[in-house]
């Protein structure tokens, strides 16, 4: 696999195709995400964004091509093995366990870790990022507001102490002020050292904090550039940035 400045990508796809039955979704997708980067994957509905994240976690297996974590081919690895290798996801629509408390949801994030005894210390770290989560620890997750659910979903993913955090449309369903707050937190998490790979339809927002981006169109990467390069790209501006 290729390298940049002699570095091995934290996450990479090489020629990945996926199918759901006869439906050919991802087509020859190449991706490289380096340690410390924040990279976004942009694209419209049904372009294959969630499928890409699922292929990283082994919830979808490529029909062709390779997925690498830290340079190691992980095709055939279980999702649990990939989480242990340092990948964690904030899924589309948060997917909290609604009848469980906030604290129980956060505990679930630690299940595949070997050092669960640090739970309380890690909780403190989550409270620093999201003070409101501390006030809601014993509340059932299903009764939280959308913004609060997003905080708990991010907190749960961080409890796994990931090297790479995958985020599937963090802005979805949130009011603009919450979207801005949410992106601020993602930026902080990245600055504190966690590599972030984020799927978004809100291209302007995502590119405002990302280092680089890829654009997916019906399962194919059609653009790949720095965030600034994409923001200035005329093709990008008309198709994704809301300009005629
Ligand atoms: N389990 C499945 N079985 C069959 N088809 C599926 C399955 N999951 C997704 N698809 C199809 O694969 C295509 C890509 O879906 P995917 O969820 O990756 O898109 P997306 O880019 O995340 O879209 P959105 O922005 O709406 O979340 C869609 O046409 C979808 O209907
Ligand atoms: Mg999706």
How do residues 235-244 score in pLDDT, each as one tens digit? 887 777 665 4
Confidence category of residue 9, pLDDT binned at 50, 70, 90: very high
CA distance 153 to 159: 10
Could you report the per-residue pLDDT of 14-26, keeping only the tens digit for each? 999 999 999 999 9
**Is this structure's pTM higher than 0.85?**
yes
177-198 in b/e burial notation, b at 16+ Cβ within 10 A?
Answer: ebbebbbeebeebbeeebbbbb
| Ligand 1 atom nearest 48 alpha carbon | 18
List the shell of residues around ion ligand 2, using CB closer than 5 Å. 49-50
**Structural domains in the chain plus CATH codes:** 1-86+162-244 (3.40.50.300), 96-160 (no CATH)
| Ligand 1 atom nearest 47 alpha carbon | 21
CA distance 102 to 89: 17
CB of 20 within 6 A of ligand 1: the answer is yes
CB of 155 within 6 A of ligand 1: the answer is no
CA distance 94 to 176: 17
Could you report the per-residue pLDDT of 49-104, keeping only the tens digit for each? 999 999 999 999 999 999 999 999 999 999 999 999 999 999 988 889 999 999 99
State in Å: Cα 45 to ligand 2 middle: 7
| Ligand 1 atom nearest 23 alpha carbon | 5
Identify the nearest ligand to the CA of 201 by its number: 1
pLDDT of residue 146: 87
Measured CA distances, 201 to 18, 40, 144, 167 (Å):
21, 10, 24, 12
Percent of the chain past pLDDT 70, that is, above it, reads 95
> Which among 60, 63, 73, 59 is positioned nearest to 13, based on CA atoms?
73
Report the 10 Å Cβ neighbour count for 107. 16
Give the pLDDT mean for 219-225.
Answer: 96
């Amino acid at each position: 696999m290729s390298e940049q400045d002699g570095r091995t990508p934290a996450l990479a796809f090489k020629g990945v195709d996926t199918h759901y039955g006869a439906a050919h979704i991802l087509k020859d997708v190449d991706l490289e995400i380096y340690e410390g980067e924040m990279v976004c994957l942009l694209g419209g509905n049904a372009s294959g964004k969630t499928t890409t994240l699922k292929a990283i976690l082994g919830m979808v297996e490529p029909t062709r091509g390779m997925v690498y974590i830290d340079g190691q081919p992980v095709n055939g690895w279980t999702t649990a093995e990939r989480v242990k290798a340092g990948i964690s996801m904030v899924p589309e629509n948060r997917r909290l366990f609604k009848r469980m408390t906030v604290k129980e949801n956060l505990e679930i994030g630690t299940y595949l870790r070997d050092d669960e005894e640090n739970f309380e210390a890690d909780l403190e770290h989550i409270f620093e990022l999201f003070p409101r989560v501390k006030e809601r620890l014993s509340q059932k997750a299903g009764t939280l507001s959308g913004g609060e659910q997003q905080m708990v979903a991010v907190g749960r993913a961080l409890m796994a102490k990931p090297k790479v955090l995958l985020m599937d449309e963090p802005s979805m369903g949130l009011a603009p002020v919450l979207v801005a707050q949410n992106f601020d937190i993602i930026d902080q998490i990245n600055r504190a050292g966690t590599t972030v790979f984020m799927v978004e339809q809100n291209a302007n927002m995502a590119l405002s904090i990302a280092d680089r981006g890829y654009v997916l169109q019906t399962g194919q990467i059609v653009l790949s550039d720095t965030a600034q390069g994409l923001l200035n790209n005329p093709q990008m501006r008309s198709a994704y940035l809301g300009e005629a």
